[in-house]
Amino acid sequence: MLVGAGPGDPGLMTAAGSAWLARADVVLYDRLANPSLLAQCRDGAELIFVGKRPDAHALKQEQINELLVARTREGNLVVRLKGGDPFVFGRGGEEADALAEAGCEYRIVPGVTAAIAAGAYAGIPVTDRRAASCVTLVTGHEDPTKGSSSLNYEALAGVDTLVFYMGVKNLPLIAERLIAAGRSGRTPVALVHKATLPEQRTVTATLATAARAAEQAHIKPPTLLIVGEAVALRERIAWLEKLPLFGRTVLVTRTRRQASRLTRELGQLGAHVIESPAIEILPPDDWADVDAALRRLGEFDWLVLTSPNGADALIGRMRRLGMDGRALSGVRVAAVGPATGDVLRAAFVEPDLMPPKFTTRSLAEALVGEGLRSRKRPGEAARLLLARADIATDVLPGVLREAGAEAEELAVYRTVPPESLPEDALDALRGGRVDWVTFTSSSTVDNLLTLLGGSGVSLEGVKLASIGPITSETLEAHGLTPTVSADPHTIDGVVQAIVGFGEPNS
């Protein structure tokens, strides 16, 4: 199964490609296939890196072909995940030929090729009736065993738009030959580095000055060279660089599972996001207390959930015990905010109460405002079950007990710090390349600072985004000042606060 992974942005992989990847027993993946795509693989899939760099190959092409055939013959569903499109300068034809010769069944799943994507993300239409009626895709790095070039520069010089793959190293020669073949040295060109990724850079020049411009801008592979009058349209229709967070690097400290939405929203606004989980969510060491509380759930007047994690853990445990929403009959449910409410609604439970501000204190005040007297036992205090983390603060139960309610605390999940931070996050912090760090709970603050404690890395000069007042107080307790604090206290609020900070685009 030869699958095109697209040009880099994981969102540009086709639905068909994702479906096959999710089913694969074995995945042979390239250097230019975005590593985040591997998260779509099923548990237990064998992942084998077979990427190539100009100076080093994990495996030679003949070895890749042999491995592809061998794993397929073993009865595995094998996905050969290739950057871009398998049949556009991807050697997919050679691999398909090897499978055909071995009598193996296979399919080809096309991908978005880098040339078209680079033009789109750089604001350069490779065809446009005002400037370009034809486009040619060209390799800038031919097979060195051929002896002589098979490229007809006289013919290429007359093509409206040329897109060269792998052409940075040979850029001076490419420009020289095109000009010698009759192409004007004043022809606009663009060099698009890491197309479609947050690190994308686009350098424009003329054909005569392109090599010097690439050297001055330190342009390295992977870079595509686009030659033609259509490049001039970029000045008006370039869009990526106009996104509000283009050029910013944001460190996200949420759990890997929870980070996806924040990562996606920041990325869609142009940010380069580095996921650096500073917290892990684990089940309780012993479910006995949780199970006992759930079996007498009907005794409570209120079930109070203070986070999506708590809601998810509680509902998951109820299902394990064979319980569903009917167990909540007669029990009112309070959720701290919309994210927690969404988890409940997914289980067909509509919250009865959500505070105007999405904080624990606001939730406590809203519950007090409901009048904490039992509807089930007239004249008695209301009984509330607080399903929370093992390290939750005393604010909520303290306010409720002071108001005369009976508040029972129940730890439905544990939060622990990871053993270490990802190396790419540490490298970016050491190199001063991080603009923002997001914090969505006090635990992410405490844990990140603990993990940084022995690394020699600090947050000096980095802007800090807090999800709300409790998290901001924790930052301040560590001697740090939040640059922005979200209002509303949600993931959307964090994103809006960063965008609203008003920095000029890089």
CATH 3.40.50.300 for domain 249-279+418-500: no
The answer to whether 26 and 17 are in contact (CB under 8 A) is no
Structure-token pair, residue 253: 């400290």
501, 483 Cβ separation under 8 angstroms: yes
Q: What's residue 143's pLDDT?
A: 57
> Choosing from 1, 9, 13, 30, which is the catalytic residue?
30
Given the residues 166, 312, 318, 463, the one annotated as active site: 166
Give the strand pairing for 302-305 and 332-335. parallel
Query: H or E segment at 105?
Result: none
Catalytic status, residue 166: yes
pLDDT in the model for residue 51: 87
Domain spanning 115-241: which CATH class is it, in words? alpha beta
- Concatenated DSSP letters for 150-215? ---HHHHTT-SEEEEES-STTHHHHHHHHHHTT--TT-EEEEEESTTSTT-EEEEEETTTHHHHHH
* Cis ω before 488 (30° cut-off from 0): yes
CATH of 282-416, picked from 1.10.40.50, 3.40.50.10090, 3.40.190.10, 3.30.460.10, is: 3.40.50.10090
Q: What is the pLDDT of residue 259?
A: 76
Do the Cβ atoms of 487 and 469 come closer than 8 Å? no
What pLDDT was estimated at residue 198? 81
Residue 285 is a catalytic residue: no
Per the annotation, the verdict on 30 as an active-site residue is yes
The pLDDT value recorded for residue 476 is 97
What pairs with residue 201 in β-bridges?
A: 193
* pLDDT tens digit sequence for 295-334: 999 999 999 999 999 999 999 999 999 999 899 999 999 9
pLDDT score for 343: 95
> Which pLDDT score, from 0 to 100, does residue 76 have?
97
**Backbone dihedral angles phi then psi of residue 491, each to the nearest 5 degrees:** -60, -45
Q: Where are the alpha helices (DSSP H) in 329-390?
A: 338-346, 360-369
- Which architecture, in CATH terms, is 2-112? 3-Layer(aba) Sandwich (3.40)
Sites in the chain below the pLDDT cut of 50: none
Break the chain down into helix, strand, coil percent, rounded to 5: 40, 20, 40
- The yes-or-no answer to whether 249-279+418-500 and 282-416 have a common fold is yes
